[in-house]
């Protein structure tokens, strides 16, 4: 089965082609081609994503990118067997572009269209790495909008272990970065600044670190960062070292909590595999902290390829492929009717099989 994947939930247009036959042994082998257009430069002047601009840009990019991917894979539209698009969660207008284009394409070709959960895409993206994890595993999902720990038994078999009660980890990076006057998206910029920083100058809170549950809280961090920025006048870029030290402190605080809770999740479930996905999984400090802590438990951490950490079409094509294969095994699926809806807010647990 050849699947076209379309991601358009936020500020990246991602398109990919996935071949389930080629991916039958190692999932990565099924990824024929993928292409991405990032809108970061367009939104940078505004300090964050402008939803209307995002939607309009997805419209402009979607079909040209599809042509690029088809050409790279040496395939034609007529060879596609199904279209997978991101149904949610995300920006309503942006989601509508991918859902409408994907459904229209599927209708024109007389093939099925499937709406994919964006977080399921992230969750399964480490399976597209060269050395993928086996099920079951604990998954730490850390993106701009979500921070969750899940127990994953298989595709569509998820159990929520804990989640943030307020801001997401990526949001904490982004908001702290903004307070330091760094450009959007803040995570990578703050992480770069932190490389020059020393630990020890600033001590930031680690809310819920000691709580017995597997929940997170990051909203207190931005208040603490704001207080330091104001007190030491760190908006002024002349304070080069102090700014780097604060960035380092923010990164330490966030990665400390993510590491501790992920390790608790491994201990509580008795599992030895931890999968980390979503934009923040690109963070090098988080990776080295998790690797070191897991090694002490004889556990291993799996990450997506760096290019597949942030939003992309490959994870949507792959998640769509997994869901279609499950449906095929359960008796097949129909090409129509070509109705679609989007789910700007959508709980991943509600998509669990049997939920």
Q: Which is nearer to Zn ion, 4 or 94 (CB)?
A: 94
Report the DSSP pairing between strands 157-163 and 147-154: antiparallel
Whether 301 and 311 have beta carbons less than 8 Å apart is answered as: no
Distances (CA, A) of 230 to 120, 209, 223, 224, 307: 40, 26, 11, 10, 36
Q: How far is the CB of 185 from ligand KG4 (least distance, A)?
A: 4
Task: Find where tokens 């939607």 sit.
Answer: 55
Q: How far is the CB of 262 from ligand KG4 (least distance, A)?
A: 16
DSSP 199: S
Map 93-132 to HEC letters: HHHHHHHHHHHHHHHHHCCCEEEEEHHHHHHHHHHHCCCC
Q: Which of 311, 321, 346, 351 binds Zn ion (CB under 5 A)?
A: 311
Instruction: Establish if 103 lies at the interface with Zn ion (CB under 5 A).
Output: no
Residue 315 CB, nearest distance to ligand KG4 (Å)?
9
Closer by beta carbon to ligand KG4, 10 or else 138 = 10
Sign of CA dihedral 131, 135, 138, 143: positive
How would DSSP label each residue in 127-153? GGSSSPPPSSEEEEEE-SS-EEEEEEE
Taking the least distance from each CB to ligand KG4, the nearer of 183 and 327 is 183
* Cis bond before residue 200 (omega within 30° of 0): no
Distances (CA, A) of 314 to 14, 213, 228: 7, 33, 40
Which of ligand KG4, Zn ion, none interacts with 282 (beta carbon under 5 to 8 A by kind)?
Answer: ligand KG4
98 vs 144, beta carbon nearer ligand KG4: 144
**Residue placing its CB nearer to ligand KG4 in the complex, 2 or 342:** 342
Q: How would you classify the pairing of strands 113-117 and 82-88? A: parallel
What is the binding site for ligand KG4 (CB under 6 A)? 10, 122, 143-145, 170, 173-174, 185-188, 191, 278-280, 282-283, 310-311
Helix and strand element counts for the chain (H, E): 10, 10
> Of 139-147, 170-178, 240-248, 263-271, which segment contacts Zn ion by CB under 5 A?
139-147
**209 and 260 Cβ atoms separated by less than 8 Å:** yes
CB of 289 to Zn ion, least distance (A): 21
* Residue 112 C-beta: closest distance to ligand KG4, Å: 25
Task: Please state the closest distance from residue 143 (CB atom) to Zn ion, in A.
Answer: 4
Nearer to ligand KG4, 67 or 284 (CB): 284
Instruction: State which of residues 143, 191, 217, 262 lies at the interface with Zn ion (CB under 5 A).
Output: 143
Residue number, 27 or 121, with CB nearest to ligand KG4: 121
What is the closest distance, in whole angstroms, from the C-beta atom of residue 122 to ligand KG4 in the complex?
Answer: 6
Tell the residue number behind the tokens 């991602």, with chain if given: 14
Which of 91-99, 151-159, 208-216, 309-317 is the region at the interface with Zn ion (rule: CB under 5 A)? Answer: 309-317
202/303 with CB nearer Zn ion:
303
Return all residues near 352 (Cβ < 8 A) that are at least 6 apart: 156, 157, 158, 159
Binding at 20: pick from Zn ion, ligand KG4, none (beta carbon under 5-8 Å per type): none
Residues 124 and 141: their CA atoms lie apart, in Å, by 10
Interacting residues with Zn ion (CB under 5 A): 143, 311
């Amino acid at each position: 089965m050849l699947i076209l994947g379309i991601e358009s939930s936020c500020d990246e247009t991602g398109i990919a082609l996935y071949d389930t036959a080629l991916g039958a042994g190692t999932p990565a082998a099924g990824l024929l081609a993928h292409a991405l257009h990032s809108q970061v430069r367009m939104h940078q002047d505004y300090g964050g994503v402008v939803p209307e601009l995002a939607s309009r840009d997805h419209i402009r990019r979607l079909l040209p990118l599809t042509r690029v991917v088809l050409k790279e894979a040496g395939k034609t539209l007529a060879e596609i067997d199904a279209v997978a698009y991101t149904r949610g969660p995300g920006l309503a207008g942006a989601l509508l572009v991918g859902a409408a284009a994907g459904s229209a394409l599927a209708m024109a070709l007389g093939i099925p269209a499937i709406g994919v959960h964006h977080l399921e895409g992230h969750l399964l993206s480490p399976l597209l790495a060269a050395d993928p994890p086996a099920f079951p595993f604990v998954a730490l999902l850390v993106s701009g909008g979500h921070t969750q720990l899940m127990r994953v038994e298989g595709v569509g078999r998820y159990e929520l272990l804990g989640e943030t009660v307020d801001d997401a980890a990526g949001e904490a990076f982004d908001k702290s970065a903004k307070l330091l006057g760094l450009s959007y998206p803040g995570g990578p910029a703050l992480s770069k600044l932190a490389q020059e920083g020393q630990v020890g100058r600033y001590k930031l809170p680690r809310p819920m670190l000691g709580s017995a549950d597997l929940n997170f809280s990051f909203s207190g961090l931005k208040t603490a960062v704001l207080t330091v920025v104001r007190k030491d006048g760190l908006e002024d870029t002349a304070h080069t070292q102090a700014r780097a030290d604060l960035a380092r402190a923010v990164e330490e605080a966030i990665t400390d909590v993510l590491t501790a809770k992920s390790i608790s999740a491994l201990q509580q479930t008795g599992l030895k595999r931890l999968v980390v996905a979503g934009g923040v999984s690109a963070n090098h400090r988080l990776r080295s902290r998790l690797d070191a802590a897991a090694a002490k438990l004889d556990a291993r951490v799996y990450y997506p390829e760096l290019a597949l950490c942030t939003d992309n079409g490959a994870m949507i094509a792959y998640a769509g492929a997994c869901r279609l294969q499950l449906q095929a095994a359960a008796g097949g699926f129909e090409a129509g009717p070509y109705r679609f809806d989007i789910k700007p807010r959508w709980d991943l647990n509600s998509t669990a099989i049997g939920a």
